[in-house]
Chains A and B, each alone.
Chain A
Amino acid sequence: MNRKLIAIVPLLIFVFLCVFLYQGLFANPREIQTGRIGDTMPAFNLPDLMDNNSRWTEQQLKGDVYLLNVWGTWCPTCLVELSYLTKLREQGVKIIGLYYVQGYDADFDGPFDMNALRKEVNDMLARTGNPYQFNILDLHRTLSLDLGVSGAPETFLVDKQGTILLHHTGDINPRVWRAKFAPLMQELN
């Protein structure tokens, strides 16, 4: 009896390994990078992407449930999700853009060409639809670093008190929306 039991052990280990490794095949290694869930929006003071004269702070964003979508015209996956985000806006979801400037280095590139960037953004949004209430320009990626952003697109769901409830890495599509965002949005409204 004891012998038979021991003979089964390798089989059990094998089955356990199979299950473990099989899960690994479909696990998303980027899911776990979330340091800011449950925290309030970090303090910032950044310019508007389109308007030189207005600036945004975390205090001004309070009072509404909103999505903060990190994006850039250089990012192909963002291009893909823009039209779906626009649909979400039409359904009444408030989306604020955090424009992630990639590859600009003040030491090498000289003064930043704001007009070229605005034109690029307008051209792109004219093609895909504009999901954003407004865009915050994060030229030196300081807010992005404070939020634990590693690239684009990434999206945060923030509630009325300014608490970060969700941090999604990758594009938002109908499947992601149904699985991750919709249940929380329903609770909040």
Chain B
Amino acid sequence: MKTVLLLLSLIISVSAFAQQDRYQFDNKEQAVRFEELTKELRCPKCQNQNIADSDAVVAKDLRDKVLVLVKENKSKDEVIDYMIDRYGYFVHYDPPVTPATLVLWVLPVLIVILGFGFIVIRQRKASVKQRWSENDELLLNKLIAQNKHQERS
């Protein structure tokens, strides 16, 4: 019984802890925008986490800033631009198309086109080889006849 109580109290305390970072919004739409933004913005300190996930000081500062901007009814793009002005393109998980990042967009398409092109060309070559004419038919029949003859003898 004691253990059960202990476990229960542990579970309850954990859920209380999880509540501490709740934010207040004026309306549902703001809450949605805040959630989307904190998932899309990358923590500059721990680079493989978004700012919603990260516990770094800078991630908390960015969350707080996003909250302030969202409450000022700034649009999503305005908030993202605000962060990019300060932390560079790096801070957004969706890189813009620039000469430096062009390869990211072009390369996959290029590889798909090359791959399909390769398959199509090979297919064509193969179909050329398998063309069947009347002469081929005659030759085949002749060979079969010869073969049967040999087997019998």
Contact = CB atoms under 8 A, between A and B. Distances in A.
Contacts of B88: 32-35, 148
B62 A145 contact: yes
Contact of B87 (A103, A141, A150): A150
A147 B87 CA distance: 8
Given A145-B65, A148-B86, A33 B44 contact: yes
A151 B58 contact: yes
Contacts, number: 46
B48 to A, nearest CB: 10
A145 B44 CA distance: 11
A34 B91 CA distance: 10
Nearest to B118: A6
B57 A33 contact: no
14 contacts: A35-B84, A35-B91, A102-B57, A141-B57, A141-B61, A145-B58, A145-B65, A147-B86, A148-B86, A148-B88, A150-B56, A151-B45, A151-B56, A151-B58
Given A32-B88, A141-B61, A150-B87, 15 more contacts: A33-B44, A33-B87, A33-B90, A35-B84, A35-B85, A35-B86, A36-B85, A102-B57, A145-B61, A145-B62, A145-B65, A147-B86, A148-B44, A150-B45, A151-B58
The 10 A-B residue pairs whose C-beta atoms are closest, nearest first, are: A150-B44, A148-B86, A35-B88, A148-B87, A150-B58, A150-B45, A35-B86, A35-B87, A33-B90, A32-B90
Interface of A: 29-30, 32-36, 39, 102-103, 141, 144-151
